[in-house]
Amino acid sequence: MVPITHSKYLDFLSKFGIGSAHPGGFDLTKEIFLTEKINKTYHILDVGCGTGQTAAYLAAQYGAKVTGMDINPIMVEKAKNRVTKYQLPVEIIQGSIENCPLENNQFDFIISESVLAFVNAPKSLKEIYRLLKSGGRFIANELTINYQLDTSNKEEIKQFYGFDSSLLETEWIDFFEQTGFKNIEIHPQKYPIVQNNQIPEYQYSEYIEPELFMVMIEHFNMIAKYEGALDYRIFSCTK
């Protein structure tokens, strides 16, 4: 299994069990699906499913067959607990999208929400392309920088969040095109990078390291420091 760079931020997300920590939160997630023709015949993969909030919603709302995958064992356990509690037909597996254990051409739809910045994006996109059926859809809500940052700023962001890369919009599009995706679209950003209108969902671990209680404040400080530079985009494309 390919390790993700260690970061206090990822530790914080897993121990606090925060659902929909991505930009726009769960409200944006639900809006994204309204534009897609999802039904109960769909087999969907939620890449980096976290606590399973999106995967559970897709199964409950649309009756779709859903697989959720996450590399973090704490997140996987919490996602499994969720689908068991609500008796949803969702399979949760532990794995990395950089080297996915699943077979070719089996998904009608794949979603990633703030995942690809943490991994090798070109390698992960090739895996996503491999997993999609012909004509299958991929939607990514991913961190984007609006302009190039100097090396020290990039390193500060990387060290805190555990990012593998910080990409411009044009660089994301280049990777999609190089992978072979078609009909690449960028959707309007309705929400700010930090959505303050929602109360996040928490699933606390029994033990949380004391230093993790300050990570949320550090996160908001990073967003404020890099306001105008750190952003996100919603990309959609077709195999």
Show pLDDT as tens, one digit a residue, over the chain (239 residues): 334 456 889 999 999 998 888 888 888 999 999 989 999 999 999 999 999 999 999 999 999 999 999 999 999 999 999 999 999 989 999 999 999 989 999 999 999 999 999 999 999 999 999 999 999 999 999 999 999 999 999 999 999 999 998 999 999 999 999 999 999 999 877 787 765 556 678 898 999 999 999 998 999 899 999 999 999 999 999 99
Question: Hey, where are the domains in the chain?
Answer: 8-238
Which residue shows structure tokens 């555990």? 162
pLDDT score of 198: 63
Domain 8-238 superfamily per CATH:
Vaccinia Virus protein VP39 (3.40.50.150)
CA 19 – CA 79 distance, rounded (Å): 10
pLDDT of residue 73: 95
Residues 6+ apart with CB under 8 A from 2: 71, 96, 98, 99, 119, 120
Q: What is the CA radius of gyration of the chain?
A: 17
Beta carbons within 8 Å of 182's beta carbon, 6+ residues apart: 237, 238, 239
User: What is the per-residue DSSP string for 132-169?
Assistant: EEEEEEEEEEEEEESSPPPHHHHHHHHHHH--S---BH
Q: Which helix (H) or strand (E) holds 83?
A: helix 73-85
Q: What is the pTM of this model?
A: 0.92
Instruction: Give Cβ neighbours of residue 160 (< 8 Å, ≥ 6 apart).
Output: 7, 8, 9, 218, 219, 222
pLDDT of residue 188: 77
Report d(CA 51, CA 113) in Å as an integer: 12
Q: d(Cα 69, Cα 100) in Å, to the nearest integer?
A: 9
Q: Which helix (H) or strand (E) holds 70?
A: strand 65-70
